Copies of this chain bind each other. A is one copy, B any other.
Amino acid sequence: MARATALTPLGIAALSLLVEEPMHPYEMYQLLIARHEDRLVKVRPGTLYHAVGRLEEQGLVAATGTDRGGNRPERTTYTISAAGREAFTKWLQDMLAAPVNEYPSFPLAISEAYNLPAGVVVELLDRRLQALQEQLHFLVSGEELLKKKGVERKYWIDVQFQQCTLQAEMAWIRSLQDQLRSGELPW
């Protein structure tokens, strides 16, 4: 029940699963992958075990029973505590209400782009646009699948958000390319 160090995204993902029902870390891992949550959180087995361990130390989850199937290593099942539910909703509220700078590296690359010749920058951004286009297609078809399956929309609003920001980035890149090609932006 050590001091409350800030919750990590993976810790949040774990708590979110434990809100549904108690489970053991490896089951969390499988669920996160199956649900494609790894699009939103970096999911790595090693990190997950550490994350759950820390949640336990902080008293947000508790180990409740350790069954074993066959002779495999025994699986420890964890259950979320009242404090865990509280910390989870608190994190959620904080993250929705207050933006935090997470220092993505594309803006940094953009700001250093003047170190390269204009023509090269245009060409590199072309490649980026292609990759972004693919991501967009992926998101759109994913959305259609979810719609077809009849999954309630409130469970996948993040897909629309990602589409929205993706399109904004693409539009900006195109406009920069135009300005570089036309010479409107002196380089």
A interface with B by C-beta (< 8 Å): 9, 12-13, 16, 19, 37, 39-42, 88-89, 91-93, 95-116, 120-121, 124-125, 127-128, 131-132, 135, 152-158, 160-162, 164-165, 167-169, 171-172, 176, 185-187
| Contact partners of A186 in chain B: CB under 8 A | 152-154
Write 20 A-B pairs (CB below 8 A) sorted by A numbering.
A12-B112, A13-B108, A40-B103, A40-B107, A89-B116, A92-B115, A95-B106, A96-B110, A96-B113, A97-B127, A97-B131, A99-B135, A100-B105, A102-B104, A102-B105, A104-B104, A161-B172, A164-B168, A164-B172, A165-B165
The answer to whether A111 touches B40, judged by C-beta atoms less than 8 angstroms apart, is yes
Q: Contacting A172 at CB < 8 Å: which of B111, B132, B165?
A: B165
Minimal beta-carbon separation of A168 from chain B (angstroms): 3
| Contact partners of A92 in chain B: CB under 8 A | 109, 112-113, 115-116
Question: In the docked arrangement, what's the CA distance between A164 and B132, Å?
Answer: 16
The answer to whether B154 touches A185, judged by C-beta atoms less than 8 angstroms apart, is yes
Minimal beta-carbon separation of A83 from chain B (angstroms): 16
Select from chain B the residue with minimum beta-carbon distance to A96: B124
Minimal beta-carbon separation of A26 from chain B (angstroms): 21
Select from chain B the residue with minimum beta-carbon distance to A116: B92
Select from chain B the residue with minimum beta-carbon distance to A164: B172
| Contact partners of A89 in chain B: CB under 8 A | 115-116
The answer to whether A96 touches B114, judged by C-beta atoms less than 8 angstroms apart, is no
Question: In the docked arrangement, what's the CA distance between A150 and B113, Å?
Answer: 19
Select from chain B the residue with minimum beta-carbon distance to A173: B161
Most chain B CB within a 10 A radius of its CB, from A40, A100, A128: A40
| Contact partners of A37 in chain B: CB under 8 A | 111
Question: In the docked arrangement, what's the CA distance between A34 and B139, Å?
Answer: 40
